[in-house]
Homo-oligomer: A and B are copies of this chain.
Amino acid sequence: MNFVFNERDGCGKCPIRHRAVCARCDEEELAVLEGMKSYKTIAQGEPIIWRGDDLQHISSVVSGIASLSRTLEDGRTQVVGLLLPSDFIGSPGRETVDFDVTAVTDVTLCRFERKSFEKLVHEVPHISQRVMEMALDELNAAREWMVLLGRKTAREKIATFIEMVVRRDNVPIHAGQPHSLPLTREEIANFLGLTLETVSRQLSSMKKDSVLTFSDRRKFTVLDLAALQDATGDDADGGVII
């Protein structure tokens, strides 16, 4: 959502969003916000904000990846979303966050004082419309993910995830293109509702079946896109994430 400031485009690259919402920046809005912003960088692995913490700022991810997650008392954790450049941390109208936010890679945030941001949401109709669109897109994506979590097999989950990563990289879809995996096996597991061992095994199995190759543990290439898409369990037509 780079209507707020356009250091970075977030157009359709978010793994968890359907429609691009950028490329329609309004100059006046930018001007209003220009004086309000401040930047902050968080190192890989560090918490950005904990569930229940008081929300002083509404921030937008400028670079890097953050995760939204919830951990149950006994340590089971579920990642409920990845925040990529242009995604927001904090919602206007909420005084706390309901999930833990953690820097998956080094993350740079652009922050706005929450009160000012909320004032803006009320005064500039354009902005609430954009936030509305974003929220509706993410709601849709969250629901797609619910289908994955509730009904897909381990292999389908992994295939869906890999396809999402590939799609996000947004390069022409002929094979041979290398992609990089921003998450550890454990983070992938927590995103897919699996264990890290199962993730590892499924990736190995896809290697064995010549669907993927890994040049190193974070870099892979799709050898058989059709097989990958087949393995997602989704209809061929429509219904895709992103």
A residues contacting B by CB (< 8 A) are: 51-52, 68, 70, 72-73, 76-78, 80-81, 91-94, 98-99, 121-122, 125, 128-129, 131-133, 135-136, 138-140, 142-147, 149-152, 192-193, 233-235, 238-239
Contacts and interface: CB of A to CB of B under 8 A. Distances in A.
Contacts of A144: 70, 98
A239 B131 CA distance: 24
Contacts of A238: 51-52
Contacts of A138: 139
Contacts of A92: 132
Given A128-B125, A128-B128, A80 B133 contact: no
Contacts of A234: 72
Nearest to A232: B72
13 contacts: A51-B239, A68-B143, A72-B234, A93-B133, A98-B140, A98-B239, A122-B129, A125-B128, A128-B132, A132-B135, A135-B136, A138-B139, A149-B150
Contacts of A52: 238
Copies in the complex: 2
Contacts of A77: 151
A53 to B, nearest CB: 12
Given A73-B233, A93-B133, A143 B239 contact: no
Contacts of A131: 132, 136
Contacts of A81: 143
Contacts of A143: 68, 70, 80-81, 98-99, 142
B150 A78 contact: yes
A70 B147 contact: yes
Given A73-B233, A138-B139, 11 more contacts: A78-B146, A78-B147, A78-B150, A98-B140, A122-B125, A131-B136, A135-B135, A135-B139, A142-B143, A145-B146, A149-B150
B149 A146 contact: yes
Contacts of A233: 72-73
A150 B70 CA distance: 11
Contacts of A239: 51, 70, 98
A149 to B, nearest CB: 4
Contacts of A128: 125, 128-129, 132
